[in-house]
Amino acid sequence: MGDVDVRVVIHRYAYHTDPDCPALNGKPEPYGGRETMAEEKAEEQGLKACKQCER
Ligand SMILES: [Zn+2]
């Protein structure tokens, strides 16, 4: 497992294995940037793999 990108928002629920994922880049909601963390750590925080990411 590698690092994944996570949106920095109040109610984040998913992590993205594709840094170009449209769900990571295209939403007009308040957006505080993103952080990168290990996939294991994202899962520890209760995040789920994004369904829009290809890999
Ligand atoms: Zn995604």
Give the range of the structural domain holding residue 10, as residue numbers without chain letter. Answer: 3-49
Neighbours of ion ligand 1 (CB under 5 A): 16, 21, 23, 50, 52-53
How far is ligand 1, taken at its centre, from the CA of residue 20, in Å?
Answer: 8
| Within-domain flag for 54 | no
Residue 15: is its pLDDT beyond 80? yes
Higher pLDDT: 9 or 1? It is 1
CA torsion sign, 29 to 35 to 37 to 41?
negative
Distance 34 CA to ligand 1 centre (A): 12
Domain membership flag for residue 55: no
Ligand 1 midpoint to CA 53 (Å): 4
Domain total for the chain?
A: 1
For residue 8, is it within any domain? Answer: yes
In a domain, 25, yes or no: yes
pTM: 0.58
SS3 43: helix
Label residue 33 left, alpha or beta by phi (over 0 means left) and psi (-120 to 50 means alpha): left
pLDDT band at 20 (very low <50, low <70, confident <90, very high): confident
Residue 20 lies inside a defined structural domain of this protein? yes
